[in-house]
Structure 1
Amino acid sequence: MESRGEQTSAQKLDPAWVDEFAELWGNAWNAHDPAQVLELLTDDIVYDDSAWPKTMRGKADVREFLDHGWRAFPDLTFELIAGPHIAGDGPRAAYWWKATATHQGPIDPPGIPATGKQIEFDGVDIHDYRDGKIAKLRIIVNMNDIATQLGILPGPGSTAEKIMVGMHKLRSRHTRS
């Protein structure tokens, strides 16, 4: 990625560069092109996403995550809600975004079959930059909200939720005795 005014080492980040990077990042994800996403990451990327069971280390791990995610949600798109918010203590920025998608393929892991349900959720990216790329990435989403929208978890106040809570209470009593 060519940069203009790139200041992504220990210096303060150039807001214009961060805005440009945020646009490239969003466009890469919305294009569903793994090469575009991976180009914006360092080779030794450390990538932690609430939607994946392990911390990814290196581009091969991230590529596996991308393939699984886009297989399950081939129309996944992101829209920036707020940010980037630049940290004052290092080359870091945070973004608040909204995603929309239709569950058209298996979520694997853990192996949840397609539901055909449309979902909408928001989340936060925290990027740590090095040499004009993301070196560390943390993505935080409310997995309970997503699971509820997909029908994996019961909705708040629903009969199914009440049954689930009742079963948990019985199990708790049983394990204490």
Structure 2
Amino acid sequence: MTVTTPQTGAQTGAQSDAAFLADFADRWLAAWNSHDTERVLELLSDDIRWDDRTFWPEVIEGKEGVRAYTEKIWEAMPDVQFAEIERFFAPDARRGIVLFRQTGSGPAKLNPERTFDAHGCDIFLEFHGDQLGSYLSAYDIVPMLQQLGGLPPREGKLGGAYLMSLARGARGSGA
């Protein structure tokens, strides 16, 4: 429900920001599911700060960097789809989190016959006007890679011990 002020008919700040965040989350998921890089970039400010260091080696500054990132996503996961599970908004701060489920086939270079089903979060940290100015991604790539056959089973290893065992294995194999 939208609240309007009697004198102007305008939406109040928190309500208009909540409506904006809800609309943005809808457009965000639609853009990603379209696999159209331009639709994704339209949602971003020119000076976007994009932090997905699970997939990308560094924080990206600017739309052109996000363009390269997005094209690599489509290349690695050409049929990836995102479904919203839940959204959490802080309208007064114009921030939000969208918890999602992502599904798709394995990359051609890894195992295209297998599929993945994993969860993550898109975190909208800051907006510049109606465009996203700061983004943080949060998801665990380990289960995805395990489902695709790219990582060995955990074999009961806890936390970082599993990742360290992978690093030791890579060093031991000459990689």
Q: Please classify the TM superposition score into its range, dividing by the shorter chain length.
A: 0.7 to 0.9
**Structure 2 runs not aligned, ≥5 long:** 1-9
SS in 2 for 1:153: coil
Q: Does 1:119 align with 2:123?
A: no
Counterpart Cα distance in 2 of 1:38 and 1:6 = 27
Q: Distance in 2 between matches of 1:92 and 1:165?
A: 37
Deviation at 1:88, TM superposition (A): 6.0
Alignment TM-score, normalising by the size of structure 2:
0.76
Aligned-pair identity (%): 30
Counterpart of 1:109?
A: none
The equivalent position to 1:33 in structure 2, one of 30, 33, 36, is 36
What SS does the corresponding residue of 1:14 show, helix, strand or coil? helix
Matching residue of 1:54: 58
Q: 1:79 aligns with which of 76, 83, 99?
A: 83
**Number of equivalences:** 152
2:3 aligns with none
> Does 1:23 pair with 2:21?
no
Q: Distance in 1 between matches of 2:130 and 2:147?
A: 36
* Unpaired stretches in structure 1, ≥5 consecutive residues: 106-112, 172-177
Shift of 1:168: 4.7
If asked which structure has higher relative contact order (CA below 8 Å, sep 6+), I would say 1
| Aligned CA distance change for structure 1 residues 156 and 63 (closer, same or farther; 3 Å) | same
- Matched residue SS, 2:93: coil
CA distance in 2, matches of 1:134, 1:154: 37
Deviates more, 1:127-136 or 1:31-40: 127-136
| Distance 1:157-1:64 versus aligned 2 partners, 3 A rule | same
Aligned to 2:138: 140
Cα distance, 1:88–1:36 mapped onto 2, change above 3 Å: closer
Q: SS state of the match for residue 116, structure 2?
A: strand
